Structures are given as structure tokens and as C-alpha cells.
């Protein structure tokens, strides 16, 4: 089992680890980041077509706890 302490000790969290922590699938994490629907990090597609992910430990923990406050501003 992955704990909050484990997550917070990481610089960046892998999608597979994030999925285990919030009890979702890695596909849920990857697609959520790719589509900007999951506010825990970012996804960037390289010229080769491969995706790279950055998941913030602090944002992930706040998301799991339900304490992540997001303010969406209009463009």
C-alpha cells in the first residue's frame, strides 16, 4: 500500500504509482492528464508521439483527500 508519506517523499510521481494511490487505473491517470481534466500535473507529447508526465506529489495528495482547490479563470 502506498501512503501519503511515500507520495510526498517523491519529486514526481509515476502514473502507475498515482493510480495505485487513488485506486484508479493508470489509463485514467494518463488520459486525465493528456486531456487536462485531472489537475494533479501535466502531460506533454514529444515529437516522436510518446507522452511524458509530471505528477505533483502535493497536488496528488490534495486530490485524494478532496482538499484540492482549483480556480478556473476565463481566458
The tens digit of pLDDT for each residue in 16-43 reads: 999 999 999 999 999 999 999 999 999 9
Neighbours of 43 (CB within 10 A): 19
Residue 71 inside a domain? The answer is: no
The total of structural domains in the chain comes to 1
What is the domain range of residue 30? 4-65
Least confident span in 9-13, 44-48, 68-72: 68-72
pTM for this entry:
0.88
Give me the pLDDT at residue 69, please.
77
Q: What is the pLDDT of residues 44-67, one digit of tens each?
A: 999 999 999 999 999 999 999 999
Instruction: Cell 507520495: give the residue.
Output: 7
Residue 72 inside a domain? The answer is: no
Alpha helix ranges (H) inside the chain: 4-8, 15-22, 26-34, 57-65
Residue 74 inside a domain? The answer is: no
Amino acid at each position: 500500500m502506498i501512503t501519503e508519506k511515500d507520495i510526498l517523499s517523491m519529486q514526481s510521481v509515476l502514473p502507475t504509482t498515482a493510480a495505485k494511490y487513488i485506486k484508479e487505473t493508470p489509463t485514467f491517470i494518463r488520459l486525465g492528464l493528456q486531456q487536462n481534466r485531472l489537475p494533479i500535473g501535466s502531460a506533454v507529447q514529444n515529437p516522436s508521439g510518446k507522452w511524458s508526465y509530471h505528477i505533483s506529489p502535493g497536488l496528488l495528495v490534495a486530490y485524494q483527500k478532496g482538499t484540492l482547490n482549483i480556480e478556473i479563470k476565463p481566458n
